[in-house]
Amino acid sequence: QLETLEQEEQECLELTPHPTEKRTHIVSHEHGMTVTRTLQEGGAEPQYHSFSYGRARLRARLLEGASLLLLRVLARRQTMPLGLVFPAINSEADLCTFSY
């Protein structure tokens, strides 16, 4: 019963003259999860976008960090069930599925 309480992701592109930084912060609360995305391009003001998912939509979904942890556990056990698919949230915070 893995549960993600909080996840932070940061991506930086150092492209001259317009470096880009993207941050995603996901935090769990009693009603579900809130996702806050920040995008800053060059010297422009950061753009913020925040949205939430309710508990019902998130039931049994894995975040990207939890998915990586699961892959490491399966690799350590040297076992991979055929056709293993999990409901997930990808790095763009979209609801999707991960198949292994």
Give 8-51 pLDDT, tens digit per residue: 888 898 888 889 998 988 898 888 889 898 999 988 899 999 98
pLDDT at 2: 64
* Token pair listed for 21: 């930084």
Cβ within 8 Å of residue 41, ≥6 positions away? 18, 19, 20
Query: Does the model's pTM come out above 0.75?
Result: no
- Ranges of H-type helices in 1-100: 55-58, 64-77
Which of the pair, 70 or 61, is modelled with greater confidence?
70
CA dist 54 and 52 (Å) reads 7
pLDDT at 45: 94
Residue 69 burial (CB count, 10 A)? 14
Provide the sign of the torsion angle of the four alpha carbons 85, 56, 3, 36, taken in this order. positive
